[in-house]
Structure 1
């Protein structure tokens, strides 16, 4: 296989994965949040290496305030990050 063709396939695969991630985050925010939490929790436990803990903190979603305007606690009006 030609190296240029391999690079082209890699770029297309990366674009497909990023697009699928974007759609999943926009259409299914609750399940994506639960998946991020499930992946991050084992990484941030005591006794893990510091590099693994930092990866877990990077994967973990931001904390929710729990006081949505409609009273449901989902904060469905949009994500708010401090400092933005």
Structure 2
């Protein structure tokens, strides 16, 4: 396969992933937030290596995980509390 064609496919794939991320954030904020919390909690356990905890903090939505605890279930992630 030609290099330029492969590059085009790579760029299109990145744009599709970015577009899907925007749609998820806009149309499904609650389920996306719960999925991010579910992915982040195992990484934030005490005794995990620093790189795993940093990855967990990066994945976790802002204000959702504090000292291993999840924000309230009614929290929609609007950051209107503070």
TM-score (norm 2): 0.77
Contact residue 30 and residue 76 of structure 2 kept, 8 A: no
> What do you get for the CA RMSD once the two structures are aligned?
2.2
Give the Å deviation of 1:74.
3.9
- Extract unaligned runs of 5+ from structure 2: 65-70
Instruction: Describe the superposition over 1:44-80 as per-residue Cα deviations: whole angstroms up to 9, x where unpaired.
Output: 11121111110110100012687xxxxxx5457x446
> Aligned pair count?
74
- What is the TM-score normalised by the length of structure 1? 0.75
Asked whether 1:29 is paired with 2:26, we answer no
Match of 1:16 in 2: 16
Q: In 2 relative to 1, CA 4–79 (structure 1 residues): closer, same or farther, beyond 3 Å? A: farther
Moved over 3 A (4+): 73-76
2: CA distance, partners of 1:2 / 1:79:
48
